Amino acid sequence: MDFEFGLFVKSLPALLSGAWMTAELSVLSIAAGLVIGLIGGLARVSRVATIRAMASVYVTLMRAMPLLVTLLFLYYGLPSAGLQLDAFTVALLALSVSSGAYLTEIVRAGIQSIDPGQMRAARSLGMSYGRAMQRIILPQAIRSVLPPITNEAITLLKNTSLVSTIALTDLLRSGLEVMTWQANTFSPFAGVALFYLLMTLPLLWLNSFLERRMRLR
């Protein structure tokens, strides 16, 4: 074991910078993914067959495609199509569309878990489909899908480590650079593990709290 406490402490500022990049990317990606997931979830239960089919194709494609493949495809493929994007934007796009597919299915499941009789009752009272979905169905569905959304956020946070493959200086990339400079593996990666733990624990606690609340309903 080549752990050196002094080197571990010395590597923390560089790792903190990488952790900040990881946290920023995670927050922006999950926010964009939630927007995609909400739109996609509504599309998946749409009464228009074409919209349902398009949403289904998107979900199937993104869930079948490994995130790393999506990331590399966008990073190397978009420039050949004449679209130049920086590494951070590519990473944000790849994480958002990938996470959005899973969140789409979470939202769809939440909507379909609500008793269909509630929609029929709302329509019988004169509400439009959109108003009934907004006022009655979605508020209930959102409460039920909060635990799996939190779980998806945890998965996305850990998946940000893949952006190191496109030379983005995230937490993992920072650890690799320190390892190279100092010719020491264990010390910097102990710091990498520590930062991932510190970022993941609040989400794990939130997930447990939401699951307990759901069981008490």
Give the residue extent of every domain in the chain.
Answer: 5-216
Superfamily of domain 5-216: MetI-like (1.10.3720.10)
Q: At 18, is the pLDDT very low, low, confident or very high (cuts 50, 70, 90)?
A: very high
pLDDT at 71: 94
d(CA 154, CA 29): 12
Cβ–Cβ under 8 Å, residues 60 and 126: no
CA nearest to 102, candidates 199, 200, 28, 29: 29
Cβ–Cβ under 8 Å, residues 12 and 189: no
The string of pLDDT tens digits covering residues 90-144 is 999 999 999 999 999 999 999 998 888 888 888 888 888 888 888 888 888 888 8
pLDDT at 28: 97
The string of pLDDT tens digits covering residues 144-180 is 898 899 999 999 999 999 999 998 889 999 988 888 8
pTM: 0.89
pLDDT at 217: 60
